[in-house]
């Protein structure tokens, strides 16, 4: 297998606020292999979107390293990054806010090509746009349509086509289906999985929806307040969740079935603590049933076998 396509080492992103430093991403170590999907799950404010954007350098990291194919891209110059961006793309969550309302579908999809000058001949660009539209299932007749004339599902397909226009290797998918109805969600997820099989794309799939993440991911990283608390292959995580937060998260999902004995058995009390100047130690401790003194000192992410990593003193 060799070198993972993406590797982050102790990646941190802090935001300065009047009250202190907001620890959005706080020492995350991830490895993503080529052709695979890593699902990053967590609730609002856990830092998953910030993580995705920091990896792409849409936000500048506070410290740490991001290796792409073995090279630390945080050290690259602007010129080198422009070149890298052809390989690393993003699909945004909001299919309404992420498309320029004054550009047509074909103009939106062609824009990255024109910016990076990967093609300069008008006919070649048009052909490429038609190809991409076909790949994502957008009818040719929408070539000169504006985003507001289309529904959420079709707009998201435009976003995907745009992300593919530079023939990338790696795509950060930031909650790409959360804003869509379930039947459209299913269509888009199928499309993304087909593309991965056909072109060998690598995805970082960010979502709060656990059923979606299980369906699409090879590995899953669970985030809480800027830290990765558990990491495991998808099946393994769902079969054998170890961190108390992961267990509570899985317990909280309402199952569409009457046979589950779900009585919301371990509803976590309380709210997420503040990410500003957090105290040392496990950030979940305040809400954890099993909290004890040892939780107040820093807990490391340890491997417990089968590629399964957990940061909890109980294990």
Partner 1 sequence: MAEKLLKIDDLRVVYRTDEATVKAVNGLNLSIDKGETLGLVGETGAGKTTTALSILRLLPEKIGIIESGNIQLDGIDILKATEADMRLLRGNTMSMIFQDPMTSLNPIMKIGEQIGEVLELHNPEMDENTRDEKVNEILQLVGLPVERKSDYPHQFSGGMKQRVIIAIALACEPKLLLADEPTTALDVTIQAQVLSMMRELKQKLGTAMILITHDLGVVAQTCDKVAIMYAGEIVELGTIKDIFESDAHHPYTIGLFGSIPDLTKTTKRLNPIKGLMPDPTNLPAGCKFHPRCDNCLEICKTQEPKSILKNTHMIKCHLYIQDKQM
* Footprint of partner 1 (CB under 8 A): 43-44, 151-153, 181-187, 189-190, 193, 208, 210-212, 214-215, 235, 238, 248-249, 251-258, 260, 262, 264, 267-268, 271-272
Residue nearer to partner 1 on the CB measure, 4 or 159 = 159
Let me know: does 278 contact 293? Beta carbons within 8 Å. Answer: no
Tell the smallest beta-carbon distance from residue 286 to partner 1 (Å).
Answer: 14
Q: Which of 50, 44, 38 is nearest to 11 (CA)?
A: 50
Residues in the chain: 315
Residue nearer to partner 1 on the CB measure, 134 or 190 = 190
CA distances to 233, 237, 242 from 305, in Å: 11, 12, 12
User: What are the tokens at 226?
Assistant: 């800027």
Tell the smallest beta-carbon distance from residue 71 to partner 1 (Å).
Answer: 35
CA distances to 22, 193, 272 from 18, in Å: 10, 43, 20
Tell the smallest beta-carbon distance from residue 302 to partner 1 (Å).
Answer: 24
Tell the smallest beta-carbon distance from residue 216 to partner 1 (Å).
Answer: 8
Residue nearer to partner 1 on the CB measure, 83 or 139 = 139
d(CA 185, CA 176): 9
Tell the smallest beta-carbon distance from residue 29 to partner 1 (Å).
Answer: 24
Residue nearer to partner 1 on the CB measure, 44 or 77 = 44
Residue nearer to partner 1 on the CB measure, 94 or 251 = 251
Tell the smallest beta-carbon distance from residue 47 to partner 1 (Å).
Answer: 14
Tell the smallest beta-carbon distance from residue 157 to partner 1 (Å).
Answer: 12
Residue nearer to partner 1 on the CB measure, 72 or 149 = 149
User: What are the tokens at 176?
Assistant: 């790409």
DSSP classification of residue 121: -
Tell the smallest beta-carbon distance from residue 220 to partner 1 (Å).
Answer: 13
d(CA 144, CA 121): 19
Q: What are phi and psi of 209, to 5 degrees?
A: -90, 110
d(CA 179, CA 216): 17
Residue nearer to partner 1 on the CB measure, 127 or 235 = 235
Let me know: does 221 contact 228? Beta carbons within 8 Å. Answer: yes
Tell the smallest beta-carbon distance from residue 9 to partner 1 (Å).
Answer: 29
Residue nearer to partner 1 on the CB measure, 6 or 228 = 228
Q: Which of 250, 224, 207, 222 is nearest to 308 (CA)?
A: 222
Strands 170-174 and 202-207: parallel
247's CB contacts (< 8 A; 6+ apart) are: 241, 266
Taking only Cα atoms into account, the Rg of the chain, rounded to an integer number of angstroms, comes to 20
Residue nearer to partner 1 on the CB measure, 81 or 272 = 272
What count of other Cβ atoms lies within 10 Å of the Cβ of residue 304? 14
């Amino acid at each position: 297998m060799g070198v993972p396509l993406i590797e982050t080492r102790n990646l941190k992103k802090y935001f300065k606020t009047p009250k202190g430093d907001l620890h959005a991403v706080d020492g995350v170590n991830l490895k993503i292999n080529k052709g695979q999907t890593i699902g990053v799950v967590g609730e609002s404010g856990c830092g998953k979107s910030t993580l995705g954007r920091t990896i792409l350098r849409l936000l500048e990291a506070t410290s740490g390293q991001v290796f792409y194919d073995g090279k630390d891209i945080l050290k690259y110059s602007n010129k080198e990054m422009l070149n890298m961006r052809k390989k690393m793309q993003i699909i945004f969550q909001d299919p309404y806010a992420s498309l320029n309302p004054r550009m047509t579908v074909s103009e939106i999809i062609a824009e990255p090509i024109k910016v990076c000058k990967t093609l300069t001949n008008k006919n070649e660009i048009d052909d490429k746009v038609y190809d991409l539209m076909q790949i994502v299932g957008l009818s040719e007749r929408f070539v000169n349509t504006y985003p507001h004339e289309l529904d959420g599902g079709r707009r998201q397909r435009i976003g995907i086509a745009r992300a593919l226009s530079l023939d990338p290797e790696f795509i950060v998918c930031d909650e790409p289906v959360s804003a869509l109805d379930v039947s459209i969600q299913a269509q888009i997820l199928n499309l993304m999985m087909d593309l991965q099989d056909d072109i060998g794309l690598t995805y970082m799939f960010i979502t709060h929806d656990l059923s979606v993440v299980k369906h699409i991911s090879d590995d899953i990283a669970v985030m809480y307040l800027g830290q990765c608390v558990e990491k495991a292959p998808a099946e393994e995580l769902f079969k054998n969740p170890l961190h108390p937060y992961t267990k509570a998260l899985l317990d909280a999902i309402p199952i569409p079935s009457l046979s589950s004995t779900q009585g919301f058995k371990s509803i976590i009390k309380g709210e997420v603590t503040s990410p500003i100047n957090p105290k040392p130690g496990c950030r979940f401790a305040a809400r954890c049933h099993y909290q004890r003194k040892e939780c107040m000192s820093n807990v490391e992410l340890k491997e417990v076998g089968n590629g399964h990593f957990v940061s909890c003193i109980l294990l």
